[in-house]
Structure 1
Amino acid sequence: MKPSAIYECLVGGIGQWDFTGDFVPCELLLTGEAAFPVLVSPQKQVLIAVSQFGKGRIVVVSHEEILKNSRFSQFLQNAVDWLRPSPGALVGVHRNFDSLSELLLGAGIKVQLGVGLIASSGVYCIDAYDDTQAKALVQFVKGGGGLLIGGQAWHWASQHGVDRVLFEFPGNRVTSMAGVYFTGNAVETGVFKVSKKIPEIPLTVSDQEADKIHTFVAEGGGLLIGGQAWYWASQHQDRAAVAEYPGNKILNHFGISILGMNIKADKYPAQLPMEHYHFRHALSLFQRHVDKEEPFQPPLTSWLQRLRQDCSAFLRIPAEDCPTYNSLHLILIKVLRRTGIPRVSKQCPVKSNSKEAVLLSLATELSQNTADCAALVQKPGDGVCLPPSTSRITVEIAGTNAGGTAWRSTGLYLPDGSTAVITLPCTAISAGLQVQIGCHSDDLTNAKELMRAPVVIRKCQVNCQNQSVSCLWGGLIYIVVPGGSQLGKVPIAVEGAIKAPFFRLGETCKRQWQTNIRHYPAPWAELATENLILTVPADNIRHVENPEPLLTLWDQITWAIATLAAAPAKFPRPERIVTDVQISAGWMHAGYPIMGHLDSVKEMVNVEHMRTTGLWGPIHELGHNQQRAGWEFPPHTTEATCNLWSVYVHEKVLGIPRNKAHEALRPACRKERIKGYLEEGAQLKDWSVWTALETYLQLQEGFGWEPFIALFSEYQKILTIPKDNPSKMNMWAQKFSLQVNKNLAPFFMAWGWPIKNEVSSELATLPVWEENPMKKYIPVKI
């Protein structure tokens, strides 16, 4: 059951929580992943909680009187109903709870009173003051039993010490296994409302209480706080976790921050304070070595990558209102001005654990905190200087967006270290638009070697009509339009930028391209169709006299991709393929944008090469962007089904048969792969990439592409699709069989798919697939 359903079950029929009377409950502490509160007082103290452990369930109440008082009869019935592993399960009640036994018997519940824990019990009710049965109770719950336990620990704490409650109070020796603890804190009683939904766990502190917490600690209080920011960071990619994650609004005040990164689950040895990395200490050592131009020594040499990441995070904390932060900013600016920005390129790579890598990250972050990044440092003079334009250039972008968040090209480029002023109409100010400089969006922070700075793009929110934006590394200028926007055509005026080569099929004049546009000075160019935009070095396309044949072919490719995906011919958002000197993973990778190495440019802008040699890599990545969770079985098919689009496009558009489109699809390779897979027992752990693709290719060769298109269309309309792979695989096998009116269960079973008996029986009523290519591998029944 989902937690919300459990909660509704427990509070059903309860009008209010009456905690008045002679008993004083204690606060409960929740730490378990499955634990959640049922009742939280107005003072944010948990009074009733539930959890699960192993196969069993547990309900914890904050005073044993709750288990005896008829005012709680409805709740106790609800609790026992939820705790019972089966409707007729026996409920054992400790001898101290005669009244509870009578209450349950009156509700028609089978009860056994006055006995210890016995094997026949489905639920056991006990107080929290005797730990002689602790081990047995833990095993009872772990094996599937239900436990209802009540007590308070404030009196025990007064006799034995508050600091011993969590680990030594008898009840905690039982409930701690489910992440619920009795504490030594007494709770103010009263009559409490029944919450409409699960109350929040009080340990979740709002950042709105940051000032109160700061005061509490300043006056001598202690703060124990925990959390992770990587999930928040993944949901707020345009915001700095170190500055805006709610927990950091509390912690930054104390000189501690939670970063938006995760670390490897491992055992980490304890270190002496002087041996352990510390940001300020590492920064001090770094500054000293730079000032004295000394070679780096341990421990700094082993800290450089960490220092680089932490400097980047630290510089995202607003410093204007904090003298300490501001002084550190000034120190880092001084360091960077002294050294200058290091050279970094494919010909001059930089190791990630080096002084140069730290300086590159510092340069990027400091430039984003400086009004005029050109005045920050002088870059090495080994490139072509592109002076910004002094004229005002007006362009128009599409402000209506039916797809996901989209980059709208302006055809303009901001030179390195320059500042542009972008003017937008008033209607666009509150529309959630962003200005983005640069398209090379891969973050290379974790790369072992750098051929460019780790982060080279800059984004800023449009919050005024005349928006100033600069970027140390320069880049093409984009307006980022949120999904669902309905702004129509948006005129934009830009000062300080230069024009970049840009050609849009069906709109750009071929003569203007030949005489002017392709010669624009920006180093990057874009070629666009209705469904795709290619971003490549300008020098790779300046020789192209007429981009129309190339883009017409790309149009045909994207139409074919949409056809197989059963999607509209016009994509809701055009795909983007961006080439870069270095990317974060592989030769190319999917996403928005698709990223590829510079060496891949030649295969994407040469029509003859595309039609003769093929275009497997880019189509493979475009195929990734068409994969859908409903018919994907990760990790098996992640690198397999995307290749359906590669095969389809090569055969339907480029005229290249599958056996020539990729060497892995040569008949001999395919035959050997099937043989090897079956010889190993046709185990799903081995069913991936080319082996998994083979299953789909056999279906396609038997029935054509139409069943795939029909099923991809059908899946778009299915509202409920199972989450686990076995169920999803059975659904696919069932639907494909019905689509082609053949029993495909034997085929899928030969491939090792976990076809259920009921699905196999259902499909057995369909005609046999006589041409089943796996038939020769299926054992003949005698």
Structure 2
Amino acid sequence: MDDNEFDQVPQNLFQDVTSVKYIRFVEALIPVSNDTRAIVCGADSTKVAIVAVRVGNGRCLVLGNKEYPAFFLANDSQDQCFIENCRQWLSQGKDAQFESIDQTESMDSVKEKGTILVWNGHNFKSDAFMNDLRTFLEGGGALVCGVAPWNWLYFNKDKSLLDFTTGRFCDSIGIKVTGNLAGCDDPIPFKPDLIKFKNVSNVVQALANEPNNGEYLAIIGSTIKELGDTLPDLSIETLQSMVLNAGNDVIPTKASPIKDKSLRQQSMGLCGILCGLSDTKAPGIKEFPGDFDDSPSIETDVTVNIQSKAANEWYCTGYYVPAGTTIQIVISEQTGVSGWSARIGCHSDDLASCNELRRWHCISICKPLSGTTVQMSSAFGGLLFLESSTGESNSISVRLQNVVLTPTYDLMDSDRVERWEDLRVRAQGLWTDIAGQYIVFNLPSQSVRHLDSAELDRALRFYDSVVVAHHELRGTTPGRRERIVSD
């Protein structure tokens, strides 16, 4: 099947069909390689719900919900025409039947010919099974596969996407899973204008010729922001050139907010690219979240120990990451459940839906602490946090390189008075973490350096009392610190 024939697959699958059934929580997929084609999108071109794939001589349909494959087995009358179109394409015009492999443990028991395999993508499969499945497809086989990483993570709280077998399989055939919702309508309409980009590889080539195309930038930026990867056939230098040579009309600031929809789209695309670039400083951050006037003192080997008291909690390391600086995190020891992550930047809100942008819309970077050593960089800079996984009795020890000491304060620390008198003067980090017993504030450091410990204590005890009063009215007790982030 050549590229021209492959380009017609969306129209072939939706011949005499205007929409497909909606299922709650359809998850977004990213067709990356040239062996993929976007078939149906949700809210926009960056949120693909169904992807067609050519794998060697075989064919595959990947759908963003684990329930979709069951429709092919049930031969649902509502989507009869769509299912028949899919059958014809997958079987390459042959008379093939659908066969579930949800409970199948070995590909040896699967019919070699005349069968389209159907897998919900949720049931566990061994690496050997997945290798055999890939061989089956390359030899001319066919597969309908569901994929729902968010759903899988919900039922596997001690895991990360790195453990998701179906995600690794999708990666091997040119699709990236995100764990984000696709934002589909009910029913899901076929909109040819949303899938004209085909795949990310195709957009990369187009973007090289039209670097200011907002739609292309949005797709590439969304991909890099989600995956933290550079893209095929587009060099780091090219990406850096795009963002560093961006015009002021797409660099959001409080003084010059971006209100035009097209310019916001370009800005968000550039922001996504910035999220994936190392050793690059975003333009316009002097105003927010801030930048150093002079080079700060860099710590090259510090140890941080965290004892988790709650699941999915943020713990400030006491250090700040300057924009454009690559840090290294060495995991020395972990106890309890694994699955810790590191986050640069306390501003985790995504402002993509705002009618105007006064800062880059997404400036917090998060990365799982897998393996023994992790490198991270942020074009925006920010406080460095460690995020706990599930469970309440987990601990982690890490060594940090290339970080800046930042002023922090904890009402529960018996040595806080002496520590604060030292940190408020010596620590150079631009943002601070000020914690009470039930509440924590992230603020620009300059806004609190002039306060002494007695003043901080009074303020924190007041806000602690507000949180306690709130819980008393609800009939609950505080389980974690509420976090207030200044923006």
Shorter-chain TM band: 0.5 to 0.7
| Preserved contact between residue 434 and residue 441 of structure 2 (Cα < 8 Å) | yes
The residue identity in structure 2 corresponding to 1:443 is D
Q: CA deviation at 1:550?
A: 0.8
The CA deviation string for residues 103-138 of structure 1, in whole angstroms up to 9 with x for no partner, is xxxxxxxxxxxxxxxxxxxxxxxxxxxxxxxxxxxx
- Distance in 2 between the 1:555 and 1:360 partners? 36
Q: Measured at CA, do residues 502 and 336 of structure 1 come closer, stay the same or move farther in structure 2, by a change above 3 Å? A: same
Q: CA deviation at 1:229?
A: 5.2
Residue 427 of structure 2 corresponds to residue 520 of structure 1: yes
- Distance in 2 between the 1:412 and 1:536 partners? 14
Q: Give the match's secondary structure for 1:215.
A: helix
Unaligned runs of 5+ in 2: 1-64, 78-83, 89-94, 100-116
* Bigger Cα displacement from structure 2, 210-219 vs 403-412: 210-219
| Preserved contact between residue 328 and residue 400 of structure 2 (Cα < 8 Å) | yes
**How does 1:465-480 map onto structure 2 within 5 Å?**
468-480=375-387
Q: Which has the larger radius of gyration?
A: 1
- Distance in 2 between the 1:303 and 1:249 partners? 26
The CA deviation string for residues 228-247 of structure 1, in whole angstroms up to 9 with x for no partner, is 55644777899997x87654
Q: CA deviation at 1:476?
A: 1.0
Q: CA deviation at 1:513?
A: 3.4
| Preserved contact between residue 501 and residue 538 of structure 1 (Cα < 8 Å) | yes
Residue 403 of structure 2 corresponds to residue 497 of structure 1: yes
**How does 1:12-51 map onto structure 2 within 5 Å?**
none
The residue identity in structure 2 corresponding to 1:340 is L
Residue 460 of structure 2 corresponds to residue 556 of structure 1: no
Q: CA RMSD in A?
A: 4.7
The CA deviation string for residues 238-297 of structure 1, in whole angstroms up to 9 with x for no partner, is 9997x876545444444455553322315645538995665334332322123xxxxx5x
Counterpart of 1:265 in structure 2 is 185
| Preserved contact between residue 311 and residue 389 of structure 2 (Cα < 8 Å) | yes
Q: Measured at CA, do residues 36 and 559 of structure 1 come closer, stay the same or move farther in structure 2, by a change above 3 Å? A: same
Q: Give the match's secondary structure for 1:211.
A: helix
**How does 1:267-306 map onto structure 2 within 5 Å?**
268=189, 271=192, 278-290=199-211, 296=212, 300-302=213-215, 304-306=217-219
Q: Give the match's secondary structure for 1:286.
A: helix
Give the one of 199, 203, 211 matched to 2:119. Answer: 203
Counterpart of 1:334 in structure 2 is 238
| Preserved contact between residue 69 and residue 145 of structure 2 (Cα < 8 Å) | no
Q: Give the match's secondary structure for 2:483.
A: strand
The residue identity in structure 2 corresponding to 1:548 is D
| Preserved contact between residue 426 and residue 465 of structure 1 (Cα < 8 Å) | no
Q: Give the match's secondary structure for 1:346.
A: coil
Q: CA deviation at 1:349?
A: 3.5
- Distance in 1 between the 2:458 and 2:132 partners? 66
Q: Give the match's secondary structure for 1:436.
A: strand
| Preserved contact between residue 344 and residue 364 of structure 2 (Cα < 8 Å) | yes
Q: How many residues align?
A: 374
Q: Measured at CA, do residues 386 and 475 of structure 1 come closer, stay the same or move farther in structure 2, by a change above 3 Å? A: farther
Q: CA deviation at 1:533?
A: 0.9
Q: CA deviation at 1:519?
A: 6.4
The CA deviation string for residues 53-91 of structure 1, in whole angstroms up to 9 with x for no partner, is 9xxxxxxxxxxxxxxxxxxxxxxxxxxxxxxxxxxxxxx
Q: Give the match's secondary structure for 2:320.
A: strand
**How does 1:229-268 map onto structure 2 within 5 Å?**
231-232=151-152, 246-257=165-176, 259=178, 260-265=180-185, 268=189
| Preserved contact between residue 498 and residue 522 of structure 1 (Cα < 8 Å) | yes
Q: Give the match's secondary structure for 1:534.
A: strand
| Preserved contact between residue 275 and residue 363 of structure 2 (Cα < 8 Å) | yes
The residue identity in structure 2 corresponding to 1:336 is Q
Q: Measured at CA, do residues 236 and 334 of structure 1 come closer, stay the same or move farther in structure 2, by a change above 3 Å? A: farther
Q: CA deviation at 1:523?
A: 1.7
Q: CA deviation at 1:337?
A: 3.0
* Bigger Cα displacement from structure 2, 220-229 vs 531-540: 220-229
Q: Measured at CA, do residues 239 and 307 of structure 1 come closer, stay the same or move farther in structure 2, by a change above 3 Å? A: farther
| Preserved contact between residue 299 and residue 404 of structure 2 (Cα < 8 Å) | no
| Preserved contact between residue 407 and residue 480 of structure 1 (Cα < 8 Å) | yes
Pick 1 or 2: higher relative contact order, CA cutoff 8 A, min separation 6.
Answer: 2
Give the one of 109, 134, 152 matched to 1:214. Answer: 134
Q: Measured at CA, do residues 430 and 552 of structure 1 come closer, stay the same or move farther in structure 2, by a change above 3 Å? A: closer
Q: Measured at CA, do residues 272 and 34 of structure 1 come closer, stay the same or move farther in structure 2, by a change above 3 Å? A: closer
| Preserved contact between residue 408 and residue 423 of structure 2 (Cα < 8 Å) | no
Identify the structure with the greater strand proportion. 2
- Distance in 2 between the 1:439 and 1:231 partners? 26
Q: Measured at CA, do residues 226 and 434 of structure 1 come closer, stay the same or move farther in structure 2, by a change above 3 Å? A: closer
Q: CA deviation at 1:404?
A: 2.3
Q: Give the match's secondary structure for 2:342.
A: strand
Counterpart of 1:344 in structure 2 is 252
Q: CA deviation at 1:430?
A: 7.5
Q: Give the match's secondary structure for 1:551.
A: helix
Q: Measured at CA, do residues 577 and 380 of structure 1 come closer, stay the same or move farther in structure 2, by a change above 3 Å? A: closer
**How does 1:354-503 map onto structure 2 within 5 Å?**
354-365=265-276, 367=277, 373-374=278-279, 376=280, 379=283, 382=286, 383-385=291-293, 387-391=295-299, 394=302, 397-401=305-309, 403-422=310-329, 425-428=332-335, 431-463=338-370, 468-486=375-393, 493-503=399-409
The residue identity in structure 2 corresponding to 1:287 is A
| Preserved contact between residue 412 and residue 497 of structure 1 (Cα < 8 Å) | yes
| Preserved contact between residue 414 and residue 474 of structure 1 (Cα < 8 Å) | yes
| Preserved contact between residue 282 and residue 379 of structure 2 (Cα < 8 Å) | no
Unaligned runs of 5+ in 1: 1-30, 38-44, 54-162, 168-182, 188-200, 291-295, 320-324, 368-372, 581-782
| Preserved contact between residue 386 and residue 415 of structure 1 (Cα < 8 Å) | no
Q: CA deviation at 1:525?
A: 1.6
| Preserved contact between residue 438 and residue 474 of structure 1 (Cα < 8 Å) | yes
| Preserved contact between residue 35 and residue 52 of structure 1 (Cα < 8 Å) | no
| Preserved contact between residue 213 and residue 250 of structure 1 (Cα < 8 Å) | no
- Distance in 2 between the 1:186 and 1:542 partners? 67
- Distance in 2 between the 1:547 and 1:453 partners? 31
- Distance in 2 between the 1:286 and 1:524 partners? 36
Counterpart of 2:102 in structure 1 is none
- TM-score, L = length of structure 2: 0.61
| Preserved contact between residue 159 and residue 339 of structure 2 (Cα < 8 Å) | no
- Distance in 2 between the 1:566 and 1:271 partners? 52
Q: Measured at CA, do residues 35 and 520 of structure 1 come closer, stay the same or move farther in structure 2, by a change above 3 Å? A: closer
Q: Give the match's secondary structure for 1:486.
A: coil
The CA deviation string for residues 690-736 of structure 1, in whole angstroms up to 9 with x for no partner, is xxxxxxxxxxxxxxxxxxxxxxxxxxxxxxxxxxxxxxxxxxxxxxx
- Distance in 2 between the 1:309 and 1:400 partners? 32
Q: CA deviation at 1:364?
A: 0.6
| Preserved contact between residue 197 and residue 203 of structure 2 (Cα < 8 Å) | no
